[in-house]
A and B are shown apart, each in its own frame.
Chain A
Amino acid sequence: MTPMLRGMIALLALLALPAWADPPPGYAFLGYDQGLARARAEGKPVFLYFGRYGCAWCDKTNKESFSNPDIRKRYTDHYVLVYVDAESGRRLRLPDGERITEAELGARFKAFATPLFVFLDPDGKEIAKIPGFKTVEDFRDYDRYVHEGHYKTQTLLQFLGSKS
């Protein structure tokens, strides 16, 4: 095999590497501070996804739920999308100016399990916090709860209970 061919194969192998528990493809996830600034400017709620490098349940959620075109459209249209690696040392700036790492943000949100999904209002106030793998139907319910404003009068459990 020629060195050039070996190099091309190595490059193709590198490009083919799966993104282990990065944000799902096809979504415009932003960093935390950039996302919160945009949410305030646009008056949109935030969908905050805490993932972890190598996280199996994040991988499953990406493959089985976020691959759904309806979920992609709902979440892209209704929210500012923010992704945080809950083990990362990447630094961000909180609205009060404090600089912390993404891992520390995870600690403050008590991101004990990943994935952890948090809905925030445009001012960054927490609306709902949902840990673990969720189905397409679950994500539709969460979207209705936040986007249709049910969170202003009901807890998430009350809303989900009223469905049946």
Chain B
Amino acid sequence: MAWEDNRDGVSRCYLAVKPARAARFNAAMRVSGPHEGFEPSVAVLGKGRYAVGWEEDGAAWLRVEDGGRLSPPLRLGGEEAGQVNVAYEAGTGLYAAWTERAGRFRQAWVARIAVDGDRLAVEGAKPVEAATPRDEQLYPSLAVTAKGGVTVAWEDRREGHTRILYAYRDKDGGFAKPQALNEIQRGQAAALGLGRGSGAMRVALAAEGENGVAAVWSDKRDFLSGYDVYAAFSRDGGRGFGKNQQVQDSFGDNIAQWHPAIAANRSGRVAVAWDDDRDGGSDIWLAWAEGEGWSENLALPGASGPGAQSDPALALDEEGNLHVAWVEKAGDGAPTRIRYLFGRSGKQ
């Protein structure tokens, strides 16, 4: 688990590791350097190793943790870089995405990261589009499949509002032409020349099965009820995605959902979690992909009830066990705590 906290008065990035059979996480390890660190992303490399990317001092960084030792940090991008996301698949490799300044706007980049012991190197870094961006490209997310597919999705403002775009990485390291992931409902406002369209943000991808990719994001196509959780699936490694699916059930329709997160495993299990306050306070809710739709929403036991529970992160291991972490705040002015829950697979 990687996170950001300011326990010593400065925002920094931390990593804690829990071996699969262990009851507890090891002590938190600081991964960011002397300056403020933000928005860490972690990928499991196997054999007890982890890659962590983060933003620090206007730059994007990555390092590998191996048995309690940290590699020297590797700088990923150019000027004003950040919003790092990392993904790994054995046989395909470790990839990092980030954004950096290109003219007036941020541009999304992707690179393969070579790992040789504690020596790291950036290989074939390329922007998702060669042209200088016409507006912001923000918060890229990666999926790397077992069959070698590499897909990146990001927030893109070129159309005058925020859309989710994605692109598949070719064998030569270039990217296919970006495609829209979120579907748009054109309403009366657009016809009247007001605004440019609905919003969407914080897309997250996860590799699923051998060659699938699942995507989830916050979507404001229904502007009256705030952000909803939408998802889409690719069955061809991320080259194309199917229709958008609303994840929250009808009991959550009339309120906003926040902070969606996704997890998937090689067996094809996909889970999405988010926070919403349909029960009067902010709780963590969970849904499973089932056939062509989604399960009823489950208020996660231990992550719902008094206080506020928000910002879930989740992982599914290869046995189908669910690992969920979230931020808990007992009340106004109370400190935040990170909680963790293990959900054993019903198949065992």
Contact = CB atoms under 8 A, between A and B. Distances in A.
- How would you classify the secondary structure of chain B's contact residues: helix, strand, loop or mixed? loop
| Main DSSP-derived SS at the A contact region | loop
Interface stretch (B14-22, B111-119, B255-263, B314-322): B255-263
A103 B201 contact: yes
Interface residues of B, number: 37
Contacts of A54: 157, 159-162, 195-199
A151 interface: no
Interface stretch (B46-54, B208-216, B221-229, B236-244): B221-229
Interface stretch (A26-34, A39-47, A107-115, A154-162): A107-115
Contacts of B220: 52
B91 interface: no
B139 interface: yes
A58 interface: yes
A107 B189 CA distance: 24
B328 to A, nearest CB: 15
A38 interface: no
A86 B160 CA distance: 15
A97 B192 CA distance: 43
B87 to A, nearest CB: 20
Given A21-B195, A54-B162, A113-B224, A107 B259 contact: yes
Nearest to B310: A107
B106 to A, nearest CB: 9
B6 A87 contact: no
A87 B225 contact: no
B190 interface: yes
Nearest to B5: A98
Contact of B194 (A59, A107, A112): A59
A86 B256 CA distance: 13
Q: Which of A87, A91, A103, A114: most chain B CB closer than 10 A? A: A87
B225 A52 contact: no
Contacts of B36: 99
B11 interface: yes
A61 to B, nearest CB: 10
B201 A87 contact: yes
A49 to B, nearest CB: 15
Contacts of A56: 187, 189-190, 192, 194-196, 223
30 contacts: A20-B160, A20-B161, A52-B161, A53-B157, A53-B199, A54-B157, A54-B160, A54-B161, A54-B195, A54-B199, A55-B195, A56-B194, A56-B196, A56-B223, A57-B195, A89-B138, A97-B9, A99-B6, A99-B36, A103-B202, A107-B258, A107-B259, A107-B310, A110-B226, A110-B256, A112-B226, A112-B227, A112-B256, A113-B223, A114-B223
Interface of A: 20-21, 52-60, 63, 86-87, 89, 91, 97-99, 103, 107, 110, 112-114
Interface of B: 6, 9, 11, 36, 38, 83, 138-139, 155, 157, 159-162, 187, 189-190, 192, 194-199, 201-202, 220, 223-227, 255-256, 258-259, 310
